[in-house]
Structure 1
Amino acid sequence: MTFKIITDSTADLNEEWAKEHAVTIMGLTIELDGKSYDTTGDNRIKVETLLEQMKNGAQPKTSQVNVGQFEEVFRQAAKDEQEVLYIAFSSVLSGTYQSAVMARDLVLADYPKATIEIIDTLAAAGGEGYLSMLAVEARDKGKSLLETKAMIEDILPRLRTYFLVDDLHHLVRGGRLSKTTAVVGSLANIKPLLWIDTQGRLVALAKVRGRKKGMKKMVECATEELGHSTAVVAYANDREAAESLKASLLENETITEVIILPLGPVISAHVGPNTLAIFTIGKNAR
């Protein structure tokens, strides 16, 4: 292993996979009914538990990874003379990226020769997770940290993220979406299709009547001018719908692989039950 790869629990990577591939996952925290929960490790909150409580009216809050947590990890890597590549949750959606930047500056003051590179993915969930997978693949093929970083930064503008959310009020409550969009989405079974724009903001892309039509529209958008043969599907407690999206995506001759990832607790806390998402890489910047 030539360098250390770090990402967040918002990347929704399987922890066993992360251990096998030497990926460190920094865990955001969730506050639910006055109690704080981890999103990594053996005592992490189960997403099924979270979603069930949300169905019953719970309103979870999420907290970013703090400076001290990053400093501890970065400082140990510097002591070990190990290079670090941190693939970060979108700076538009969380302060976690800024915490990492501050921690890096603190460590570099003491270890000026250390290499700590940070990428603001402007992405989340399966998009961030897939970027992390690609970084692991590049590292394991012998690419240097800087070569891997350059590859990821080349992909970033072409990474497409689409969300179909049942209840937009979870996103409004967390400050990730405007109240106006949520009101439109609550009218007559209208399902706004959301995407992450060029600035990393989660915005409405289209308005579709009903979930099935929303899924069809999401596939259409995600498969326009594809630049990569792999797609990622993410879901919250609706594996059957995720499998349906996978089958639809594989009908496109460009797509040869579809990775299905369950949404983790942090992203689920913001988007709520029954959310679906597709992540693809296009030929051109979005």
Structure 2
Amino acid sequence: MTFKIITDSTADLDENWAKENDVELLGLTITLDGKTYETVGENRLTSDVLLDSMQNGSKPTTSQINVGQFEEVFRAHAQEGHEVLYLAFSSVLSGTYQSSIMARDMVLEDYPEAKIVIIDTLAAAGGEGYLSILAAEARNQGKTLEETQSMIEGILPRLRTYFLVNDLYHLMRGGRLSKGSAIIGSLVNIKPLLWLDASGKLVPLAKVRGRKKGMKEMVAQATQDLAHSTAIVAYANDAEAAQSLKEDLLARDGIDNVLIMPLGPVISTHVGPGTLAVFTIGENAR
């Protein structure tokens, strides 16, 4: 028996790819200039519109997927007898994961035989997307839900996530980084390089003078101790820099394939315009 894969709009997956590969996307919402927008579907808020607004001074906020939304989706699959694997946005960065746990428990009261597996990816953006792609590939190869779960959980401690941001104001504003850590972002021409540590926290890794040096350092960090030959590059309104990162990564031993994914609106809200990110999988735990 095959199973259903669900993830969030924070995984930044292309919606056409998701449909073709039977990956269901649930959307967080964004409030921008007093109006609330969806991040999945035809009328979703695009990153381009959001980032343009942010550059003009807008301060958007995001809202997690609530318990009721999860319950509706999980209940529908339980009624159909579908096994479910939900790859959740990091519990450290959002309450979305906890909402999914509450909803699953409610559904299991009525459908105790249902199988709803929830994995806290401790990841975001291309990292969460990378895991979703690997899960879909495993399912397409005939792997069971249990086998896929085991594979993903084995990768989680080895997933590498690096962000190069123009400044740390947006992360501080959204509560994803302390004010003390954000001070370095105000220094002239200092480009903060951050990563997700083993606990899923976004923490400063290095202070680099200049964007080009920051990109070089991010590639160096991301290509240490590689276990998979695919890397993912993500960007917020700087496709040219993303292409440059791709070329630099492909020049490194151990990287044979690089996927470029625009940062979606939810993640862009918190990291801001001009952000670049690289995601790889290492041999050893972080």
**1:119 paired to 2:128:** no
For 2:46 and 2:127, locate their aligned partners in 1 and report how far apart those are by CA, in whole Å: 21
- Per the TM alignment, residue 178 of structure 1 is displaced from its structure 2 partner at its CA by 1.3
Alignment of 1:1-286 (within 5 A): 2-286=2-286
* C-alpha contact (below 8 Å) 2:166/2:192 kept by paired residues: no
For 1:196 and 1:225, locate their aligned partners in 2 and report how far apart those are by CA, in whole Å: 16
* C-alpha contact (below 8 Å) 2:169/2:185 kept by paired residues: no
CA RMSD for the aligned pairs? Answer: 0.7
Give the SS at the match of 2:117: strand
For 2:65 and 2:73, locate their aligned partners in 1 and report how far apart those are by CA, in whole Å: 12
* C-alpha contact (below 8 Å) 2:166/2:275 kept by paired residues: yes
* C-alpha contact (below 8 Å) 2:226/2:254 kept by paired residues: yes
Q: Which whole-Å deviations, capped at 9, do the CAs of 1:65-112 have from their partners, x for residues lacking one?
A: 000000001001000000000000000000000000000000000000
For 2:181 and 2:29, locate their aligned partners in 1 and report how far apart those are by CA, in whole Å: 27
The sequence identity of aligned pairs, in percent, is 71
Range that drifts further, 178-187 or 203-212: 178-187
Give the SS at the match of 2:226: coil
Aligned residues between the structures: 286
Q: Which whole-Å deviations, capped at 9, do the CAs of 1:208-231 have from their partners, x for residues lacking one?
A: 101000000000000011111000
TM-score by length of 1: 0.99
For 1:71 and 1:33, locate their aligned partners in 2 and report how far apart those are by CA, in whole Å: 30
- Per the TM alignment, residue 188 of structure 1 is displaced from its structure 2 partner at its CA by 2.2
- Per the TM alignment, residue 179 of structure 1 is displaced from its structure 2 partner at its CA by 1.1
For 2:266 and 2:276, locate their aligned partners in 1 and report how far apart those are by CA, in whole Å: 15
Q: Which whole-Å deviations, capped at 9, do the CAs of 1:120-164 have from their partners, x for residues lacking one?
A: 000000000010000000000000001000000000000000000
For 1:133 and 1:261, locate their aligned partners in 2 and report how far apart those are by CA, in whole Å: 13
- Unaligned 5+ segments in structure 2 are none
TM-score by length of 2: 0.99
- Per the TM alignment, residue 183 of structure 1 is displaced from its structure 2 partner at its CA by 1.4
Q: Which whole-Å deviations, capped at 9, do the CAs of 1:245-269 have from their partners, x for residues lacking one?
A: 0000001121100010000000001
- Per the TM alignment, residue 181 of structure 1 is displaced from its structure 2 partner at its CA by 2.0
Q: Which whole-Å deviations, capped at 9, do the CAs of 1:167-205 have from their partners, x for residues lacking one?
A: 210000000011122211211211121000011000001
For 2:157 and 2:67, locate their aligned partners in 1 and report how far apart those are by CA, in whole Å: 27
Runs of 4+ in 1 over 2 A off after TM superposition: none
* C-alpha contact (below 8 Å) 2:64/2:96 kept by paired residues: yes
Instruction: Name the aligned partner's letter for residue 87 of structure 2.
Output: I
Instruction: Name the aligned partner's letter for residue 79 of structure 1.
Output: Q
Give the SS at the match of 1:175: coil
